Amino acid sequence: MTLPDSPVSPRAAQTIAAATATLSAFIIVLRYLYGRNAPYPAIVTDPTKVAKRISGKEDEYDFNEYDVIILGGGTAGCVLASRLSEDPSLRVLLLEAGNSAMKNPFAIIPLSYSLMFHTKHEWDLWTVPQRKAGSVQKYWPRAKLLGGCSCLNAMIFHAGAPEDYNEWALLQKGHEGALQWSYRELLPYLRKFEKYHPSPEFPEVDPAQRGNAGPVDVGYFGWVAPGTRKFIEACANVGIPAVPDVNTPKGSMGVTKGRRVTSEYAYLTPEVLARPNLKVVTGAHVTRILFDTSGPITRAVGAEFTQPNGEKFRVKARKEVVLSAGAVHTPQILMLSGVGPADHLKSLDIPVVADLPGVGSNLMDHVVVDLNYRDRTGNSLAFLRGRTLKHKLKLVRAIWEYKFRKTGPLTSNVAEAIAFVRSDDPKLFPPSEFPPEKTPEDTSSGPGAPDIELFFTPVGYKMHTGDNMPPGEYFGLHGVLLSGHTAAPTYAIGEKAADLIKAALAKA
């Protein structure tokens, strides 16, 4: 068979080969440099050191015991493991299905997180066909790493609107402890985890309104595309005010500019992992919670987990089992353990421990409309995929700039600027064009809180996986039905939960 002549000249072919070889060498160097971390005694890859292998009947062995077992080492799980093990009298065990992200360059370099999509580092989840979204299945990235989705998100720090937290308290309808979840009560925890770094580019941000001693570094560290600044200017032109800080008690309305710090990096530090009372097991896929139903009150007393090779293990909790496995796996583990809608559990031959019909129901995600435009400035982030010689050379330069200067396009978080607005703002949505009687009432946001997010990306994409645009340079404008982002509230809830558990254990 005769192959067609190559459209690339021999000289260009040599250049492409050299660029490709250089890129490969850089990636090898990155993996080497980020893989030299010293081992920590708390991180355990051999579960026989902390748990008992199941080899016969369930009552033929003794449990390995801990005071507190945390199921799931995601954003909140790492917070809990760190804070609870501050008490040297508590033996704490953290179980995580994934591995540590500390040696993973794609979980370290801010821009590269999408390169973990559809890999062993995430769960590769897809929804069922969405009847009101073209009946298509939607990809739902969920990290399978210590640190959870703090390794795989867009690194947006957004505390959220005070009104939304107050809605949490109101939804509990006066139940005991409801007011503890109001904004006023959670504000100290929002500041507890944060270490804000002031920026000379944003002198209007008041550091007194921010946390300054927490483990999570927050600041304006990332690369800013020229189009990002144009987006902020355009927002001001249509009536969305530029706000220096949307993370204070004043609220979230306005437009602002948004680095990755994972919860593993922030909370499972070498000092924390050196604690003799903390163990972290990676590759531990929790399959169920163990309950004691012999007494008048059913109690969670342990957990069962498997290793990638299929071996099963069990551990026992003397005081607390904390389930912190995320929005998808928390209800799954509950149902596998017999907690959930009884009819559904019986149909799968799962013994019912508690009939709770709401478990596994009402999962919702925000609706997004993506608009993509040709970028004629040459500042798009499309070079990350390295499809052309020009892109490969830009990628090599960007890797060098990031590795040796910690600057450049690889520090972008993709969603570089965000505007929060309300759908009933008459300046943006004139009643003559959007009659109030024909506008559906939004019940998902508190009064005065935003219900629409607009954000700019210096790269275009059609789907969450990103690599699906025609050749060329693009930027994107995106509209989201969203009141706020969840990373910051999750850190705060982890901090508060740790204090609540400590108080309960002290009282007991």
Q: Which of 156, 170, 160 is nearest to 450 (CA)?
A: 160
Residue 5 is predicted with a pLDDT of 42
Residue 395 counted as domain residue: yes
Residue type, 499: D
Residue 495 counted as domain residue: no
Report d(CA 142, CA 138) in Å as an integer.
Answer: 13
Residue 287 counted as domain residue: no
Residue 18 is predicted with a pLDDT of 45
**Number of domains comprising the chain:** 1
Q: DSSP string covering 238-284, please?
A: TT--B-S-SSBTTBS-EEEE-----HHHHHS-HHHHT-TTEEEEES-
Report d(CA 353, CA 59) in Å as an integer.
Answer: 19
Residue 56 is predicted with a pLDDT of 54
Q: Which of 307, 335, 304, 338 is nearest to 321 (CA)?
A: 304
**Opening angle at CA 414, ends 411 and 152, nearest 5:** 85
Residue 34 is predicted with a pLDDT of 52
Q: Burial of 93 by CB count in 10 Å (0-12 exposed, 13-18 middle, 19+ buried)?
A: buried
Residue 69 is predicted with a pLDDT of 98
Is 68 labeled as ligand-binding? no
Where residue 452 sits, what CATH number does that domain have? 3.30.560.10
Residue type, 109: I
Residue 447 counted as domain residue: yes
Residue 202 counted as domain residue: yes
Q: Which of 251, 209, 232 is nearest to 483 (CA)?
A: 251
Q: Are strands 92-96 and 278-282 parallel, antiparallel or unpaired?
A: parallel
Q: Mean pLDDT per segment of 10 residues, for the chain of length 508 residues?
A: 41 45 50 52 75 58 79 97 96 96 89 90 92 87 95 90 90 87 94 93 91 93 90 93 85 60 94 95 96 94 94 94 96 98 97 95 87 90 82 89 88 92 90 81 78 93 70 91 91 96 92
Residue 240 counted as domain residue: yes
Q: How far is CA 243 from the centre of its chain?
A: 25
**If DSSP codes are grouped into helix, strand and coil, which group holds residue 231?**
helix
Residue 375 counted as domain residue: yes
Q: Length of the chain, please?
A: 508
Phi, psi of 315 (to 5 degrees): -135, 155
Residue 46 counted as domain residue: no
Residue 10 is predicted with a pLDDT of 47
Domain containing 469 equals: 156-178+196-259+365-484
